[in-house]
Chain A
């Protein structure tokens, strides 16, 4: 049964590909469309990878949507001064927000979804202010950064580094230990508070990177950038088989496979011609279904 559950996301991925290939008469897998899917998937997968570190501990990070917006806005604002500043500032913004999230959670003991939800609101407000309720265009020269090779190498680097840290270092192991049982992890010497802050820091850092990638692709930072991105990430992770409780069964593969699935799904729905509003509804239903299928009812009492 457990073994079966592990391959469900892969079956889902194949089903989505088969279904939409059929519905679109093979357009899904055309070269042009694959490029579109790739563009969407890069940001989604990197965002998912960051949140994986948080979810491994059994916590949530819902601040991603606005963080994508504000880090994009920072990138665009400072790019106007010197293009070289845009990437570091986007990432620094992410790190700062991650620190705030983590500190509030670890030291003030506020539940993670509340903390990050509040931060989501605050940052959206700041994004609107930073973009003057409109949009900030990127210097023309920077648009050349939106190329396949750069993005692919960033993606591969992030995946490899995260996989290594998550699977083969005490950092990843400690974080999963917290998800499996915070008290017991503490009693085994895991520096719980430090790990919590670190997880949000990683999540924020990678989201900042996403913010930059996004602004480079669209050519401008907008006040609405990243709206509902946090829910896309959560849906993707759950689709990819990430348990909401975190713990030792939380795998980094979920981020990659889930991100890919959601990118394909979104793209497929556009190709088939489903209206934007309806797409959101469909995603919501799929999210619910994924949670229902993956929820470990036996371990409910252990959710923090």
Chain B
């Protein structure tokens, strides 16, 4: 008897056909991978299964009885929990309130909410899943993106789901977060529970899933067992054409110009990072790695002038200008891709065109006048460069798939022709084909004499693209690696923990 059977699901958004006859069958105790290119319909499919949106047609069965959830709470009652791709927690509420959203009646006596009780239960729940650094009464908005994701994860788990859905979450998590995630998945499997796991990291999918379903253009095209499956074959199944074997750099030696383009001296932000100094050169791809709370994400913000440092300086060599705020940073030729794309990277209620053009307005204006046709051309150029899947440049970003949102967020700095790009988790939620093109793009930028600073939790990625890698541990520079052929993840991890 299958746990979940989904048949012939159709879904059209205004003009976009997101799902066509999609079908999936998940057995009890199975961990199922779900892969596909950006915009292939993965999120839409699981949103339907978890009651977030309703299908136009098709049928679903849970334990062989008809199943048609009207809301996430409905799905929860049927023991289906989800961790969504985008932000799934609500600002302005505490961690505990988010955990028990919709279940407040559990803590109500005579119509009053017993907050203390709810906090106690929340602490219990968080600890049960090894999440010990989060306080139940903390405002969720004050948490890092990763911690918010972990809260959401705990929320999906405490209902003791028969089916847990995890939509493209791992790229938002550090090693520690991933460990929590995967050990919980194993535990669920042992209890004969099932999982649908969406990720663009195909190695991860093969390692942790029993089988994998491939989606393409809204259809579920294939389901294969992961036993004996290799990454390359899965990639080709997914993209539907032959691919090059590597997408990282071919050269094995660091190469960059003498000229320093950004100089960081003794930079300290109390509580985040201490005494960080380095030079970024023309034509250099500089990686920054470490555990997620090692201070590297905040360091990125300081470099862009968003988070003032306690002491030390950031200087762009062009005119020896010190960067103390973001307006100066942009004027100094810096572009910044934040990790939290929905709240920091994109204006969701604006169009693709408006998002891409915003940083470049000053350069396309002529005596204050911004010509709509210039704006259109710029956006069109940016969208084509990254092959953004959209109905037109006037589509709202809210309605883009996760990976395509990421492309828009990146595109605005590419069209601005920034000299220095600070990229925080640049390939978050991006499919393999686009990943390859982004790595290619970085190398092109390198050739043009621009400098790229990549902050990433993916060591493989850092090794693959960087000329040098700075490893931070507890906010301090522990080690700087030069690019070389035999550099391994283990070697780097050694300095991280």
Contacts and interface: CB of A to CB of B under 8 A. Distances in A.
Interface string A243-267: 0010111000000000000000000
A140 interface: no
A196 to B, nearest CB: 14
Contact of B90 (A169, A173, A301): A301
A119 B369 CA distance: 35
Interface string B80-107: 0000000000110000000000000000
B338 to A, nearest CB: 6
Given A169-B370, A181-B343, A187-B306, A245 B349 contact: yes
B344 A180 contact: no
Contacts of A248: 347, 349-351, 354
Contacts of A111: none
A169 B369 contact: yes
A190 B349 contact: no
A191 interface: yes
Contact of A302 (B349, B362, B370, B412): B349
A186 interface: yes
Interface string B368-388: 111110000000000000000
Contacts of A174: 358, 361
A248 B370 CA distance: 16
A4 interface: no
B346 A184 contact: yes
Contacts of A191: 327
Interface in B47-106: 90-91
A181 B347 contact: yes
A177 B412 CA distance: 14
A85 B338 CA distance: 51
B225 interface: no
Given A174-B361, A189-B359, A190-B358, A247 B370 contact: no
A189 B358 contact: yes
Given A184-B344, A187-B344, A177 B370 contact: no
A170 interface: yes
Contacts of A190: 358
Contacts of A302: 348-349
A187 B350 contact: no
A168, A187, A245 — which one has the most chain B CB atoms within 10 A of its CB?
A187
A280 B357 CA distance: 44
A52 to B, nearest CB: 17
A183 B359 contact: no
B316 to A, nearest CB: 15
B211 to A, nearest CB: 35
Nearest to B92: A301
A188 interface: yes
A169 to B, nearest CB: 5
A30 interface: no
Nearest to B358: A188
A173 B370 contact: yes
B350 A169 contact: no
Best-buried of A190, A191, A245 by chain B (most CB within 10 Å) = A190
B349 A181 contact: yes
A247 B349 contact: yes
B347 A184 contact: yes
Given A168-B372, A248-B350, 5 more contacts: A180-B354, A181-B347, A184-B343, A189-B359, A191-B327
23 contacts: A169-B368, A170-B362, A170-B365, A173-B358, A177-B354, A180-B347, A180-B348, A180-B350, A180-B354, A181-B346, A183-B343, A183-B344, A184-B343, A184-B347, A186-B306, A187-B304, A187-B326, A187-B336, A189-B327, A189-B359, A190-B358, A248-B350, A299-B349
Interface of A: 168-170, 173-174, 176-177, 180-181, 183-191, 245, 247-249, 299, 301-302
Interface of B: 90-91, 304, 306, 326-327, 330, 336, 338, 343-351, 354-355, 357-359, 361-362, 365, 368-372, 412
